[in-house]
A and B are shown apart, each in its own frame.
Chain A
């Protein structure tokens, strides 16, 4: 894909880019469909249940049926809502979540845009989704939606800080923000992957990532048993489907990022296993991260709202900064 970027834009290359985007969209939709199915199955199994098993063979069509239901639903907009913003919010939430997928390298040569600030690009764009959530909460003209939106913004902004700082250690080790180069610097045996030298950074990153995704145990913005439904109380039908889609596309993005930054991306655990294609290794690690997210969701209860900010600023942020200092000392000593 990369050599197309270096050529001047013509109708031909534009068509290739569009086809690539549609391909990724189709793949991501497939992932989201079966991530939801898999999530419900895993959580069911972890609660002595069987999970969806009635729609289609083994319940495989359950998410398809759910999405079809959402799309067929009546499209309601509250009378006193701010119509323009209300319609804009789901779009504004989804577009950046999809745009961040452009910089993910799946293997050595399969990547859409080889940005030299790949990680920063992710952080910059995912911040826009926070705005969309506040906009959605505000435009609904509903106090629960507004409170949910405010909570969500506070949480996502707070946890973005330790998320970014925890990655600085990785960047220092590889000397680049380019995701492809970060992965290449982890080549070799699996103990050379960043999750061992950067164990503190990895732990902080995981916690902050789960929180960024607004998933249990950090799902306070939605908190279905406390707030009504957070910022999307007033949303239904396909607008609600877009918010859900955004959430799961971010699961995809974060799982891919964790794989790339800390689990060595497409590198095999040992150089002897290199005959297995890198993209397979990537998706094995990716699936493990996605499973872990579901596992965490099935295990932990929700945090209290007064513990939430304390955790971000008093625990995760100092740990992340400590990690930077330790990494710097380590680099200095190893030289």
Chain B
């Protein structure tokens, strides 16, 4: 009997308390900074090292490079860079391994679409995905350019 009255008290107290419902589709959700969302890709920083492709557990990243158009400089620049979000598991490994932070995580997560083709994102789309980019991309404090 006492427990039942206590229960009624609890529900009555809850009635006036702050609600946890988020106005989600109307108001975007603020994700914490280490959220693993859709990658942002900066072609200027990419050195075509291919590490992201090799570490990707689902092999969803494909890239091709081309010779640097400036004949003075050595190395390659990125030509195409695609991530297939049908199979990407947003595991954060590609951004972790990237030595130049050319590919980093953002807080965006809305990928639903009407067609599977729309889930195949190319270089330009990923470059355009430049909102809510993760701020701290080196949170373990590893030396810049890798350990010597």
Q: Give complex CA distance A2, B147 in Å.
A: 97
Say yes or no: is B57 at the interface (Cβ < 8 Å to chain A).
no
Contact B21 A299 (CB under 8 A): no
Contact A298 B11 (CB under 8 A): yes
CB of B3 to closest CB in A, whole Å: 10
Within the complex, which residue of A45, A295, A296, A300 is in contact with B19, where a contact is CB–CB below 8 Å? A45
Residue of B nearest to A50 (CB): B21
CB of A43 to closest CB in B, whole Å: 9
Contact B20 A295 (CB under 8 A): no
Contact B17 A48 (CB under 8 A): yes
CB of A137 to closest CB in B, whole Å: 31
- CB contacts (< 8 Å) of A42 on chain B: these are 15
- CB contacts (< 8 Å) of B10 on chain A: these are 299
Within the complex, which residue of A46, A49, A50 is in contact with B11, where a contact is CB–CB below 8 Å? A46
Consensus secondary structure, chain B interface: helix
Interface size band for B: 10 to 19
Say yes or no: is A109 at the interface (Cβ < 8 Å to chain B).
no
Contact A46 B7 (CB under 8 A): no
Q: Give complex CA distance A295, B58 in Å.
A: 51
Q: Give complex CA distance A48, B22 in Å.
A: 11
CB of A161 to closest CB in B, whole Å: 23
Say yes or no: is B140 at the interface (Cβ < 8 Å to chain A).
no
Say yes or no: is A55 at the interface (Cβ < 8 Å to chain B).
no
Say yes or no: is A47 at the interface (Cβ < 8 Å to chain B).
yes
- CB contacts (< 8 Å) of A295 on chain B: these are 8, 11-12
Task: Scan residues 18-60 of chain A and give those whose CB is less than 8 A from a CB of chain B.
Answer: 42, 45-50
Q: What per-residue 1/0 map shows which CB atoms of B4-42 lie under 8 Å from chain A?
A: 100110111011111111000000000000000000000
Task: Scan residues 104-156 of chain A and give those whose CB is less than 8 A from a CB of chain B.
Answer: none
- CB contacts (< 8 Å) of B11 on chain A: these are 46, 295, 298-299
Q: What per-residue 1/0 map shows which CB atoms of A69-111 lie under 8 Å from chain B?
A: 0000000000000000000000000000000000000000000
Within the complex, which residue of B4, B7, B8, B20 is in contact with A48, where a contact is CB–CB below 8 Å? B20
Residue of A nearest to B17 (CB): A48
Residue of B nearest to A301 (CB): B7
Q: Give complex CA distance A290, B12 in Å.
A: 15
Contact B4 A300 (CB under 8 A): yes
CB of A28 to closest CB in B, whole Å: 26
Q: Give complex CA distance A120, B74 in Å.
A: 99
Contact B21 A49 (CB under 8 A): yes
Q: Give complex CA distance A295, B7 in Å.
A: 10
- CB contacts (< 8 Å) of A298 on chain B: these are 11
- CB contacts (< 8 Å) of B7 on chain A: these are 299-300
Q: Give complex CA distance A299, B18 in Å.
A: 18
Contact B4 A46 (CB under 8 A): no
Q: Give complex CA distance A161, B14 in Å.
A: 35
Q: What per-residue 1/0 map shows which CB atoms of A261-297 lie under 8 Å from chain B?
A: 0000000000000000000000000000000000110
Q: What per-residue 1/0 map shows which CB atoms of B74-116 lie under 8 Å from chain A?
A: 0000000000000000000000000000000000000000000
CB of A50 to closest CB in B, whole Å: 5
Residue of A nearest to B25 (CB): A54
* Nearest 10 interchain pairs by C-beta: A46-B11, A50-B21, A299-B11, A299-B7, A48-B20, A45-B15, A46-B14, A298-B11, A50-B19, A46-B15
**27 sampled A-B residue pairs with Cβ under 8 A:** A42-B15, A45-B15, A45-B16, A45-B19, A46-B11, A46-B12, A46-B14, A46-B15, A47-B14, A48-B14, A48-B17, A48-B18, A48-B19, A48-B20, A49-B19, A49-B21, A50-B19, A50-B21, A295-B11, A295-B12, A298-B11, A299-B4, A299-B8, A299-B10, A299-B11, A300-B4, A300-B7
Q: Beyond the given A48-B19, A299-B7, please list 14 additional residue pairs across the A-B interface where CB-CB is below 8 A.
A: A42-B15, A45-B16, A45-B19, A46-B11, A46-B12, A48-B17, A48-B18, A48-B21, A50-B19, A50-B21, A295-B8, A295-B11, A295-B12, A296-B8
Chain A residues packing against B (C-beta within 8 Å):
42, 45-50, 295-296, 298-300
